[in-house]
C-alpha cells in the first residue's frame, strides 16, 4: 500500500481514508466510522488523542513510504494541515534522496 512517485499529492480525503481504516481496525475511536469528517476538522475535535496520533503517524509512514518526524502532528492541526504537511515532507525528502 506504499505510495509510488507521481502517485499524486495527499489530500484531506486521503488522510480521512487512513483515519477511517484505523477506526475499522480499532486503533482509533469507532465513532470516526460514522462521523462526517471534513478537512477543517482538527485531530483533537475528532477525539483522537496522543496515542491515536502515534497510530496515525505510523500508518501514514506505511502508506507513504516516508519517515515522519515525531513532531509532525499536533492535536490542533486540521486534516487539511496534515495533508499539506505530508506533501511538503514528501517533497523535501524527495529532494534529499
The residue extents of the domains of the chain are 12-96
Q: Residue 79 pLDDT more than 90?
A: yes
pLDDT band for 63, please (50, 70, 90 cuts). very high
pLDDT in tens, 42-62: 999 999 999 999 999 999 999
64 DSSP β-pair partners: none
Q: What is the per-residue DSSP string for 48-81?
A: --HHHHHHHHHHHHHHH-S---GGG--TT-BHHH
Mean pLDDT over 18-41 rounds to: 96
pLDDT value at residue 52: 97
**Which pTM was predicted?**
0.87
Percent of the chain with pLDDT over 90: 82
Please give the CATH number for the structural domain made up of 12-96: 1.10.1200
Query: Distance of CA 18 to CAs 84, 92, 97, Å?
Result: 15, 22, 25
Q: Tell me how many degrees the CA angle 75-91-44 measures, rounded to the nearest 5.
A: 10
Q: Residue 1 pLDDT more than 50?
A: no
Amino acid at each position: 500500500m506504499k505510495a509510488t512517485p507521481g502517485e499524486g499529492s495527499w489530500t484531506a480525503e486521503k488522510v480521512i481514508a487512513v483515519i477511517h481504516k484505523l477506526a475499522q481496525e480499532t486503533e482509533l475511536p469507532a465513532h470516526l466510522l460514522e462521523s462526517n469528517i471534513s478537512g477543517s476538522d482538527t485531530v483533537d475535535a475528532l477525539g483522537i488523542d496522543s496515542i491515536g496520533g502515534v497510530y496515525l503517524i505510523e500508518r501514514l509512514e506505511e502508506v507513504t513510504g516516508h519517515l515522519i518526524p515525531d513532531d509532525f502532528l499536533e492535536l490542533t492541526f486540521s486534516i487539511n494541515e496534515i495533508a499539506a504537511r505530508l506533501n511538503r515532507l514528501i517533497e523535501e525528502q524527495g529532494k534529499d534522496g
